[in-house]
Structure 1
Amino acid sequence: MARTRLTVTGTPVGDVELSVVSPVGTRRAHPLPLLVAHDGPEYSRRAHLLSRLRTATAEGRVPPTRVVLLEPGPRNERYAANPDWADTLARHVLPTVRTAYALDGRPTLMGASLGALASLQAEWRHPGTFGALFLQSGSFFRKRVDDEEDFEFWHRVTGFVSNVRRVRRPRTDARVVLTCGLDEGNLTNNRQMAQTLAASGHDVSFAELPGRHDWRSWESAFDPFLLTLLQGSGSPGSSSRRGT
């Protein structure tokens, strides 16, 4: 896969560094599906995202897909329910990528932990920007559920989660897939977020899988959940909370 580095300047959070990775043999003018990954370098290095996609593409399981690997920069400040980061993605990063590359349809946005939270907020603030969200072990903190009050952005995160819980009708038509490990602290708030989104009419599925809050567990969820999402054929496991 061919990799090109870009710097997006003039955003509300400062410069954003990213890499655009394209399948070999494709050109910028070729419209391809786009996958945007929070913590992109870590997803590539520690969860082997690019190699898993390359193999799935070779096997014909997913179409050739262009990938944006977002470098987090000051991660907690950006990802912890920061509306400026959501605006940066929708109004600066994606327009920059669209100017340089032809896209096929709306992008898929993914992230783990705070990256999952940031992914949901980006589409929540800018409905219709993304066609699908892949949210792994999201840090959907709630008062009386999570013992994270010492986290520096606790009130910002719990405030956003409370806003999501108050919605009574679909905010977005994006397909939303959540996964979470059975042995991690975020399991309860992920269950509740999935229930909240389903109750307000969103297209959502949730899979509880063996594993912890780590890159190995997140990688293990790619097949089938991320791969099925990228096929454009709907979310896997929509009739069951627990993945198999």
Structure 2
Amino acid sequence: MAVNLISQSPPVVRFGLEHQDGIRGVSVLQELHRPRLGPKLDRTNDIWRADLDVSGVDRLEYLFQVTDAEGHPALVLDPDNPRRAPGHLGEKSDFRLPGYQPPLWLDHPGEGRVRTVEVGAGANVPEVGVWSPPRVRRTTALPMLLVHDGAEYARYSRLLEFCWWAIAEGEVGAFRVALLDPGERNREYSAAPDYTSHLEESVIPALTERFRSTSMLGMGASLGALAMMHFHVHGRVLDGLFLQSGAFFRPGLDAVESQLTGFGRISNFVGELLKGDLVPRPTPVSMTCGTVEENLANNRLLCEHLAKNGWDVGLLEHRDAHNWVAWRDSLHTGLLPLLRRVWG
């Protein structure tokens, strides 16, 4: 029994899972409501069922947690839903509501070449992959997009395919993409001064020595977005920022994240920005955040503050949650206008 939309106003989906011998309980693991594990499915005859309000989104990623007769839980995909959403923790089942429209560029094949740039032994980021579009020489001077969690963006959000589509269709001129991957992600991306210094003193010089760059934009999602803003403020002044679902934590808004490594450092950095203790040079900023994300409130707060202080900034709220497909789906509406604005 597949998941189905059973009500339009409010939108409610019904989950169904066929009972098998040895199953003692079933719950849905979802990203719309707290607690994330729930609702529990009730068994009627040979079917486990539960309903979930999906207001605010056009698609839903989920798993079933199935508990066996001995009380051991296991996360499983929905066997009756063949659609899958990728992610660094593994695939999830993907249910799309009638309003969902995938971006048209997904049908465009990706091209180009990734070259590896060595940064140095013992470095936080020992090497960086740099993508160049087809038929571009290494010595050609081009703008460069710096991307936190670069390999995952390329794998799960198909970033390089999007970039080649934008270039090939004449939406923007040619540019390169530097795929920055973290070592200790939660520590390095939590407004860590040593990581920002490493980017400024080791990574950027290595990139610009290998590739002539005329301009640099920074990009990241979640903690990666926060870390890119920190780099703009305390490291290199970037020519633009694309920040998706940024982890701009504040104690009064994000208590649920307070156990995260570096939460205090993050909240202090964001607080200094909001109070005006830090006055970085304004640069064009495009922000995106899902309508059901817990980060939405802190993203709105930062966007409002930047706008009041003369930044060219906008926040796109898209009908999704905190995941790679959501970030993929807002590349066309969030990143592309920024590239045009800064690079033409």
Confirm or deny a common fold (TM above 0.5): yes
* Matching residue within 84, 88, 106 for 2:198: 88
SS in 1 for 2:242: strand
SS in 2 for 1:213: coil
Q: Give yes or no for the alignment of 1:121 onto 2:230.
A: yes
Partner of 1:42: 152
Partner of 2:119: 8
Report which of the two has the higher share of strand: 2
Counterpart-to-counterpart distance in 2, 1:232 and 1:16: 32
Partner of 1:242: none
How far off is 1:7 after superposition? 2.5
Report which of the two has the higher share of helix: 1
Question: Which residues in structure 2 correspond to 1:154-165 (within 5 Å)?
Answer: 154-165=263-274
Structure 1 residue runs of 4 or more that deviate by more than 6 Å after TM superposition? none
Question: Which residues in structure 2 correspond to 1:1-244 (within 5 Å)?
Answer: 1-9=112-120, 14-104=124-214, 106-126=215-235, 128=237, 130-147=238-255, 148-167=257-276, 171-232=280-341
Q: Give identity over the alignment, percent.
A: 36
Letter in 1 for 2:120: T
Structure 1: gaps (5+ residues)? 235-244
How far off is 1:91 after superposition? 2.1
Structure 2: gaps (5+ residues)? 1-111
Q: Is the 8 A contact 2:218 2:240 kept in 1?
A: yes
Q: Is the 8 A contact 2:190 2:227 kept in 1?
A: yes
Q: Is the 8 A contact 2:200 2:236 kept in 1?
A: no
If the length of structure 2 is used for normalisation, what is the TM-score? 0.64
Counterpart-to-counterpart distance in 1, 2:166 and 2:177: 14
Counterpart-to-counterpart distance in 2, 1:168 and 1:85: 21
Q: Is the 8 A contact 1:127 1:172 kept in 2?
A: no
Counterpart-to-counterpart distance in 1, 2:240 and 2:207: 18
Q: Deviations over 1:4-31 (max 9, x none)?
A: 11231267x5443210111121112111
Number of residues paired by the alignment? 232
Letter in 2 for 1:146: D
Counterpart-to-counterpart distance in 1, 2:277 and 2:184: 33
Letter in 2 for 1:134: F
SS in 1 for 2:213: coil
Q: Is the 8 A contact 1:131 1:173 kept in 2?
A: no
Counterpart-to-counterpart distance in 2, 1:20 and 1:61: 21
For the aligned residue pairs, the C-alpha RMSD in angstroms reads 1.9
Q: Which has the larger radius of gyration?
A: 2
Compare relative contact order (CA 8 Å, sep 6+) and give the higher one, 1 or 2.
Answer: 1
